[in-house]
Structure 1
Amino acid sequence: MTTHVLSPEEISERIRTRAREMGFGAVGIAPVGPSAHGEAYARWIGEGMHGEMAYLAREDAVAKRRDPAVLVPGTRSAVVVGLEYFNADADPSAPADPSRGIVARYARNLDYHDLMKERLIALQDWINAELLPVRGRAYVDTGAVLERELASRAGLGWQARNTMLIQPGRGSYWFLGVILLDVELAYDAPFEQDRCGTCSACVRACPTGALLGRDETGAPRMDARRCISYLTIELRGPIPRDLRPRMGNRVYGCDICQEVCPWNRFATPSAEEAFLAREGLDGPSLIEWMTMTQEEFSARFKGSPIKRAKRRGLLRNVAVALGNWGSPEAVPALVVALSDEEPLVRGHVAWALGRIPDERSVVALRARLLVEEDAWVVAEINSSLDED
């Protein structure tokens, strides 16, 4: 513990220095207060754009997002940190190969939640031990916190049309974490410019039409129900039939709105080894993944964000990608998967087989129809046969 009383300015500067020493590539400090986008958030929930993410719509969760002081009583300051995760595709040709899947860059190795949360807790403990007694709590994407708005207040960047936080000259491939503290600190100047300008590349590029521009208050709007990241991760049931063809070969998450953003030409490779793509996650074979057992799934994705989708969700996504590929090469693997124990997998496999002009597809679908007991799967099989 320091032996003399530090000024708020000294405390803030030491926090910034310590955060950088711990590997955080960005750090800012902001005052805590009611959200400027609270009304926009409430309208977004009211319009049902959160889809099946019911945890976003709970009354207590809405109140906490509108004012962090409700989340952590007595909180006065937010320490916001960023950790860069960008890494280029090891094989630049992989994304354009429809026989291979695309996994969002953030999910190609270890789960960032664990890594960042551990460091944030260590940073808070250091503040307590070395600077002054504090009470507070650390959050990494799992609490009722509007991290991107707090990051803007802390001077780290602006919230773009694609809803991402963009740092000038550094891009948007950043994980954000927040520590809410019950002490007043010296604050960074907020970032108040919208440097998207007239650019709407992300809105135009979104294949499912999930990005809706800005509302009258300037808040970016997204219909999560149409977002490929939502469809491949958060959605637990069937993917809407009209959206399946638009998903291409993206099997877990989506980076399209970041890939087309001009600001991401400044993105630099992450120095974190934990974010380097592990073997098999940079352009995986869709056919090989379609044959994955539960045991293989559990072993392959231990410690990975992909485990969130569960095997049935991931294979649902892979089936859609194979249907979009439309190659007869995929038929044998799909025929086997048509007998998968999970109805969610069987139904999307039926859709995929219906997209492949191959007599084996028709034979398999008709044979499965004779024994299928799940009503939704039966409907998917019939739809595929009718479209044949």
Structure 2
Amino acid sequence: MSSSSLQSLSPLDLDRLLTADERAVRDAVRDLAAKELLPNVEEWYEAGRIPRELAQEFGRLGLLGMHLNGYGCAGMSAVDYGVACLELEAVDSGLRSFVSVQGSLAMTAIHRFGSEEQREHWLPRMATGEVVGCFGLTEPDHGSDPAGMRTRARRDGDDWVLNGAKMWITNGSIADVAVVWAATEDRVRGFLVPAGTPGFTTREMKRKLSLRASITSELLLEEVRLPADAVLPGVTGLRGPLSCLNEARYGILWGAIGSARTCFETAVGYAGSRVQFGRPIAGFQLTQRKLADMYLELTKGALLALQIGRLKDAGDLTPQLVSAGKLNNVRAALTIAREARTILGANGVTLEYPVMRHAANLESVLTYEGTSEIHTLVLGEAITGIPAYR
């Protein structure tokens, strides 16, 4: 197999396992990436910002809530969505995060648990990118254990009054609406909090060394008064937000392969052109061992993502399998990024090459939407039948 066939990546000719429609989705996102994203992503990352106008670019391509049906959403397959996530994260994890939070978290919560009025009001505009959403579950003191959340919602006549704070919220400072989860006197409920509601403020989190091409914020709620129709009527308890997180994790297990692919391609190209001791470093055994190991992990991760996508489209996917995919593929991608950095040597730590940017991003991806430790325990319980979280 030639190196060119690897760099186009499809290891083991995985493209043959995609349908014509799935390849068309891939090509459309690659085209957007080449024209609009890749030329600017280094600047966005270095500046620690992302243009809000990207939402409408993603909306025009049908990427926002693309796996949802109706209300202006594209209604595409799980594998279509996975392929799109892969191509976006091949550019930068922050771009895939934007699409994941908008579609898999905020829009999915409204689509799955909202009233018909809420769906009609929010989803069509979110699908076009006119409206940006965020998803408020994680708190300053409660990440892996959301059952301990301190954000509270109390009844006051027909209204609800919310108090609390949410942390590490992607899109928070640019969102037009926040899906906020709060404990009530009986169970956790979801609430739609429009930007500008009195008592609701956001604070962008600065000084990040990872996911810099992404807006991350704190949500602050102080006596935020909402009408009765702001609550999501379709669910109570943590089953609601956790099911949305499972959708986001699905996108991550595909997206991580995109980051890994970029790092692998960069390492192969660099090793072929970097000359030391009179020949390209690709000709040295230690470099070839690194590339071979990276290729194997990348191929296994891509196959795992595709199989999980096929199971999801067939209606046979379990949360435990999503945990397996997220745990394996992010861990493998991070290993590939780190190994690729060693091949690039000192050049690997600059923005001239994408490897360190991807490696830094993947440190966050390893943690969010369930840490590697939590997904390990999910699999441990699935294997043994014994929960070990406490």
| TM-score, normalised with respect to structure 2 | 0.24
* Structure ranking higher in helix proportion: 2
| TM-score, normalised with respect to structure 1 | 0.24
- CA radius of gyration, larger in: 1
